[in-house]
Every structure is written in structure tokens, then in C-alpha cells.
Structure 1
Amino acid sequence: MAEAARSKRTKAPNGAGSLRPYQGQYRVKVTVAITGGQQQVSRVVRTEAEGRLVLAQLLADHSRGLLRSPDTLTVEALLRELVATRRDEWKPKTVANNEDLIRLHLIPHIGHLRVQKLKAQHVQQLYMLLARTYSLSLVRQVRSVLRQALQLAVVNDVVSRNIVKDVELPRVRPVRRARQNRALSPEQLEAFLNAAAPFEELAGPVFHITGLLGLRRGEAAALRWAHVDLQRGTVHVRDNLAVVRGRPTPGTPKTEAGDRTVPLAPETVALLVAWKFRQQELGRMVGEKWVDSGHVFTTVKGTPFHPDRLSKLARALGVQAGLEHVTFHGLRHTSASLHLARGVPAEVVKTWLGHENVSLTLNTYRTVYGHEHRLHVTGMSGLLQQGPDNLTLDGALRVGA
């Protein structure tokens, strides 16, 4: 009987659709007729309700002749589907960056190819072509977008494997550049803050707090008084003002770890208390034109700063202080390096800066200052002893037994 039942089964008719559970999610399938047979167009969604909507849309597209079979899907169409699928998951800046990568670097070179005809050599040639003109960092970003798109094709049964995972990045010899520390020394930071003092009288201690807490520029621009607890001495970093195609766009910090609470020293609390009173006085002086935005650092009208303006101000103030290489993000490196140099555990600094892992804090943000090398140098007699207790410093910061 079972064999008879199986023999009577027929292929699903053209336009048939289904919605079934799949690995904790739901898979939608619609059968599409192709030359010599049929194929299924599938989508994986999170919920059953979303699946019903997607199934209805696919069936409607099929009835209008708009639903393409997997064997005619181009890389360009797949990339656009990736953006449409992930738009709600990605942050606005990520959406804009990925759209630019797709428009400028992927579609012009491989967008016309059918996904099922895309080969590893096509991807390798793309990487080599881009590496001739652009940085390896951009090639990595292109690879990330393409890999996500091909993984979407795998999940939707368009292809059986993600070929992008098998293609290595080109080995490009890095251009030799004069190494320049992004972090400032204590003396340089003091000179920079002195140059910034007149500006901070009217805008708030934005560079002081950034150099101390290592805020990202969007985090500093978005910081509100509602997230500063002057009684407990803490700052809760929970907002970010990202720049998307030139426009400041409110959002959350860059990573989950970026949503963090940072403790403040008593002198920092006193500084912020004084600035809060000063800001209220400025608001009364400006009068009706003052905008009570609730932000900690504001323009003379009370509005939050555009993050790009903070970057330009940091460079200009650096030049004024005789420090040509100062950047706003460099103050974040400075905060990490100075805290680590004074012995703060790396895990603590990682949390203060909102990094996902401590390796980023140590490998990317850590500058080892010259005096630290002198502090730990020793002779063989000191090296042969088991602990640092035998080491002493003289007045010239030289180490001896």
C-alpha cells in the first residue's frame, strides 16, 4: 500500500506554495516552472506570521510573472534582496555603507552574473582588482557583504554552498608609512586641553570627558543629562549620533558592549556639576533662541553637535596646540593607553570603552609610552631573581637592583 501511495505522488504544480517550520524558524517555498522541469523559490523567516505574509507576496509575484526562478537570479538581485532582508537588523550607517559597497564595487563587476554561475575565480578576480586601487580594509568589507549574500542564497536553496568562504583575500604588501602614535602623551593631552579650554567654556568639557572616558564622537554628541547620574557619579552611554551620508542619525552605540555605565571620579563629577550650572546660565542669556535639547555638550543655541564638527574642532585645536596629528578618535586611544599605563586592568578599560573583547583594547588602542620601557628595564641580576620586589627606581627613572 505504501509503495502504491508513493507511486501516485506527483510533483507540486506550478505556483504551489508551502509554509513549514525550519530549524527554529519557518521556511516558505513556492514552486516555479522552468525549462525542462521545475524549481522552488524559498525564503527563511523568523515567525509564522511573517511567513504567511512572505508566502502571499511570493504567490502574488508569481501570478504576475515577477517571480524569477533560482536559475535566473543575478548577483545584483541577490545583493538587493540581502539589503531588503537585513535592513531592519543593520544600523542605519551599516545600511548606507553596504549599499555603497554594492553600488560602487560589486554590481559593476559581478552584478550581471547569475548566482548559480558565480565561481571562485570571479570572486578572486574581484578581490585582486579592488586591491590594486583600494585598501585591504575595503576589500574585507566587500567580502563580508558578498559572503552574507551568498549565505542567503544557500539558505534559500539557490546554491548548495557559499563559495565566498573558500576564497582567500589577496596578499598585498602593506605600504610602508611613518608610524605615528594615535594616543597622546600626558603632556600632549594637557596642551590640547589647554587649547580647548576657551571652546569648552561655551560648549562643555567635551574633549576633557572624551580624553578621560574614551567616548566615541557620536556617543559624546548624543550624551544627555538624563543619562548622567551626578549623585552616584556615573555616566550611562546608551545613545549614539551616527553620520549617515552627511546627516546625523540617532541610534544606539556601535556594539552591544557599547551600551555601558562608566564610573566618574569626584573631580569629574564636580566638573560636570559646574558645567550644568554654567549651561543653564548660558540658556538664560540666549533667551528664546535657546533650545533645551537635554544634551550635555551643546552649541551656543543649546542644540547637539554634529559629530563631523567635533572632528574638525579636534583637528583645529590640535594644530593650535602644536599637535598636527590630533583627531577626535585619537582621544579614545589616549584614554585607553593612559589608563592602561597607570595600571588599570585591561578588562576594566575594555568595559569603560565599550569594546566587545579585550584584544581590541590591547592590540589596537594601546600605545606603550617611552617611560614605560624605562620603568621595567633591568639587568641580568634582576632578571634572574623571581619577583619585582628587588627593583628600585632612581631619580632619573632608571631601574636598579
Structure 2
Amino acid sequence: MSSAGSAMAEAPHTRRSRTPNGAGSLRPYRGQYRVKVTVTTAGGQQQVSRVVPTEAEGRLVLAQLLADHSRGLLRSPSTLTVEALLRELVESRRAEWKPKTLANNEDLIRLHLVPHLGAVKVQKLRAQHVLQLYTLLARSYSPSLLRQVRAVLRQALQLAVVNDVVPRNVAKDVDLPTARTSRRSRQNRALSSAQLQDFLQAAAPFEEVAGPVFHIAGLLGLRRGEAAALRWEHVDLDQGILHVRDNLVVVRGRPTPGTPKTQAGDRTVPLATETVALLAAWQGRQRALGVMVGEKWVDSGHVFTTLRGTPFHPDRLSTLAREFGTQAGLAHVTFHGLRHTSASLHLARGVPAEVVKTWLGHENVNLTLNTYRTVYSHEHRLHVTGMSGLLQQGPVNLTLDTLRRVGT
């Protein structure tokens, strides 16, 4: 054997050294950056990792993790509880979520997730745990709340997947229990044209001194926060258009300025000539009211105002809607129901669904048609036909006949 071969044969096997406890790293990862810190536990070494969007943020996170490790605060992935993971989710999304979303998600976590799953180790969490939670909540809460709980839990567990705590999101494929539709939810939320007229008549004395808020909500489908936040600077009476730019949301009882609920909610809506005249007349009355009130008047710039000129609390608009509905003999009226009414009446008169979707600020036309659309009884009669009509191959005549019946 050659000397070189002998040297290789005699060389001792070099074992790969273990990563030191507390060692950290920062490396690119799928267009982002991954931070890792090694933690030594009784069962061996584990790595705590975080994925961040920028290298600068990665350096800050790495410094924080190393500092936590030196103080004995950094836990290994196997000891991470669902409660701690949910806290991490809130902190990672705090700057991203809107104030109302943040408050709502914090309440969901505090009231519904932590009491039932908080103490469970994330690595021990199973789909059965998640299903048991959904089944328990379904006994007392609405399908809407269950969907919100599911969304928060899925986001948290996806964060655990990204950070290498668990290999998969166990909540991803767990379906919600099938809920029976309550009698109240089956009730049509949209008013008919005659019911809307009765409601507006009941609200007319109020609107004389506060502005045609229910008129505009029923016509354009504004959300209550959008109506409360509407300013004159966003109403162009010369061009006949209204811009929805702001949203006054209620966060733990307090009205908080914000933006529309979704990106599509930031929208521009055309106004009919009679609507422009209505708003122009109110603008003049509002100015006169300000002169009458004098020094106590607050020139807030809002379209719909209290007797002092300040914007309405959104909850107040909801209360008033119920009160005027009761006066009109319509006990099921809600302010949000006026949004359903706007969608349904426009669709019933033949306005294309894509147009109504844009007016209401929906991101998806399916939401407009499947959730907001009420088919009125007169529409069924409108399209009734006998077999002779059904067998006719004349869609053009049918369309013209429909238009004549609708009155366009």
C-alpha cells in the first residue's frame, strides 16, 4: 500500500461537531430570511426558527432570540403551548391587522381558544382536539363565530409550520360542524320596496335634522361605519359621485377611524340626479342648523351629523334602525339589512351583478349573489310561463317582455 494510502487508512474518523448551545444563524429562505437558534434540551438539541421578510428584521429577531436564550427565556419547540403560539401570532400580525380585527382576534383567543386549547403543546395538538373545540362551540355560538375561531387557529398553526415547530397544520383540513339554520337567520334580511318606503317614512323626521343617512344606506348599501364616516369632501355634487374612503369602526365600544373593510370597499359610486338634489338640499339645511346652534356647533365636515355637528356613533345608527323599523311595523330591520335591501332591489330591477358588487364594495360577485340577494315573490310571478312559452326559442322576445313588465 502506498504511503498516501497508509496515511488515509490510519487517519482517525472525524466526527461532525454538534452545534453549540445558543448558536444562531441568519440565511435567505424562499425570498425571505430564516433565523435559527440552537437550544439544548434533555432530549437533545432542537432549533428555534423564525421566518421574516427582510434581512434587517432578521438581524433584530436573531438578536432578540439570542438575548432570550441567554436569560433562559427561549423555549424549545417541544415546550411551545398553543397559548404561547397564539401570542406570537398576535405580535407578528399586530402592525398588519386593522384595529377592529386585532381587538376581535384577541377576544376570540382569550374567550374561546385559550380556555380550551391554550395548555396543549403545539407538537401534541391533533385534529381531534380541533374538532372537539368546534363541536363544543357550535352548541352555543353562531357559525360566523366558529369561522372566525377557525381562521385564527389556522393562521397560528401555519406560523408554527413556517417556523419548523410542526410539520403540518392539523387544523387545515378540519371542517366545521354542520349548523342548523336558525329561524331568525332564515328570515329575509332584505326589505321589499314597499317595506323600505314604510321604513324611510318612519325615519323621515330624524333625517330632517341629521341627514338622509337611511335613505343613502338603503340606496347605495353603505355599511354603518362608512355612513358614519362619510365626509362632504368625498361627495362631488357637481359630478354626481360619492367616494367611500373612510370607515368608522367600533373597537371595544369606542368609534375608531379606519379604512373600508376590504380593498374593494374603497370605491366610487355614481349618484342619480334626484340623489344629488337630496344631498344638496341637506347640505344647505345642515349649514343653517350650524348657524342656529351657534358656538356649540362642531364643524366636523361629516355628511350625517348629530345636533352638535359631530359624527354618529355607528352603534347609535344600528339602534335607530331598529327603532324606526319597529315604528314601521318591521321588527326585523337592521342597519346592515339595508345593505342587503340595496343589493336585492337593484338586482331585481335588472342591474348587472358585477355593477351591484362594485357599488357595495364586494370583492367577489358570489358574495353579492349568494349572501346579499333576496329573490322577491313578484320576481317569481314575473317569469312564470306555460309549456308553450318554455318551448319557444325566442330569448329576445322574452327579454323584451320582461323589460316591459319591469317598466324600463
Shorter-chain TM-score bucket reads over 0.9
Change beyond 3 A, Cα 1:109–1:179 = closer
Report SS of the residue matched to 2:190. Answer: coil
The reply to whether residue 55 of structure 1 matches residue 62 of structure 2 is yes
Give CA deviations for 1:187-208 in whole Å, capped at 9, x if unaligned: 1111111111111111111011
Whether the 8 Å CA contact 1:382–1:390 is kept in 2: the answer is: no
Cα distance in 2, alignment partners of residues 385 and 314 from structure 1: 47
TM-score, with length taken from structure 1? 0.94
Cα distance in 2, alignment partners of residues 381 and 142 from structure 1: 53
Report SS of the residue matched to 2:172. Answer: helix
Deviation at 1:177, TM superposition (A): 5.5
Change beyond 3 A, Cα 1:329–1:291 = same
| Mapping for residues 168-187 of structure 1, pairs under 5 Å | 168-175=175-182, 179-187=186-194
Whether the 8 Å CA contact 1:374–1:398 is kept in 2: the answer is: no
Cα distance in 2, alignment partners of residues 171 and 287 from structure 1: 58
Cα distance in 2, alignment partners of residues 284 and 297 from structure 1: 16
Map of 1:317 onto structure 2: 324
Letter in 2 for 1:278: R
Change beyond 3 A, Cα 1:326–1:173 = closer
Change beyond 3 A, Cα 1:173–1:334 = closer
Map of 1:362 onto structure 2: 369
Deviation at 1:121, TM superposition (A): 1.6
Change beyond 3 A, Cα 1:174–1:264 = closer
Aligned length: 394
Report SS of the residue matched to 2:249. Answer: strand
1:381 counterpart (364, 378, 388): 388
Map of 2:273 onto structure 1: 266
1:130 counterpart (122, 129, 137): 137
Q: What is the percentage of aligned positions where both structures have the same residue?
A: 82
Segments of structure 1 that go 5 or more residues without pairing to the other structure are none
The reply to whether residue 291 of structure 1 matches residue 298 of structure 2 is yes
Cα distance in 2, alignment partners of residues 218 and 118 from structure 1: 39
Deviation at 1:66, TM superposition (A): 0.8
After TM superposition, the structure 1 stretch with the greater mean CA deviation from structure 2, 243-252 or 14-23, is 14-23
1:190 counterpart (184, 197, 213): 197
Rg bigger for which structure? Answer: 2
Whether the 8 Å CA contact 1:19–1:52 is kept in 2: the answer is: yes
Deviation at 1:135, TM superposition (A): 2.4
Give CA deviations for 1:349-386 in whole Å, capped at 9, x if unaligned: 00000001111101111111111111111111111111
TM-score, with length taken from structure 2? 0.92
Whether the 8 Å CA contact 1:123–1:167 is kept in 2: the answer is: yes
| Mapping for residues 239-250 of structure 1, pairs under 5 Å | 239-250=246-257
Whether the 8 Å CA contact 1:25–1:44 is kept in 2: the answer is: yes
Change beyond 3 A, Cα 1:178–1:150 = closer
Cα distance in 1, alignment partners of residues 170 and 88 from structure 2: 18
After TM superposition, the structure 1 stretch with the greater mean CA deviation from structure 2, 257-266 or 10-19, is 10-19
Map of 1:68 onto structure 2: 75
Deviation at 1:52, TM superposition (A): 1.4
The reply to whether residue 30 of structure 1 matches residue 37 of structure 2 is yes
Change beyond 3 A, Cα 1:14–1:169 = same
The reply to whether residue 329 of structure 1 matches residue 333 of structure 2 is no
Whether the 8 Å CA contact 1:228–1:234 is kept in 2: the answer is: yes
Letter in 1 for 2:143: L
Give CA deviations for 1:304-355 in whole Å, capped at 9, x if unaligned: 1000000000111111112111111111011101111111000000000000
2:235 counterpart (221, 225, 228): 228
Deviation at 1:34, TM superposition (A): 1.1
Map of 2:121 onto structure 1: 114
Change beyond 3 A, Cα 1:172–1:366 = closer
Map of 1:39 onto structure 2: 46
Q: How large is the Cα RMSD of the aligned pairs?
A: 2.1
Give CA deviations for 1:130-169 in whole Å, capped at 9, x if unaligned: 2222223322221111111110000001111111113222
1:237 counterpart (219, 244, 247): 244
Letter in 2 for 1:68: R
Segments of structure 2 that go 5 or more residues without pairing to the other structure are 1-7
Give CA deviations for 1:113-132 in whole Å, capped at 9, x if unaligned: 11111112211221222222
Cα distance in 2, alignment partners of residues 37 and 323 from structure 1: 68
Cα distance in 2, alignment partners of residues 110 and 152 from structure 1: 16
Cα distance in 1, alignment partners of residues 332 and 157 from structure 2: 41
Report SS of the residue matched to 1:166. Answer: coil
Cα distance in 2, alignment partners of residues 141 and 149 from structure 1: 13
Change beyond 3 A, Cα 1:391–1:162 = closer
Deviation at 1:278, TM superposition (A): 1.2
Change beyond 3 A, Cα 1:69–1:342 = same
Cα distance in 2, alignment partners of residues 398 and 234 from structure 1: 30
Report SS of the residue matched to 2:171. Answer: helix
After TM superposition, the structure 1 stretch with the greater mean CA deviation from structure 2, 122-131 or 194-203, is 122-131
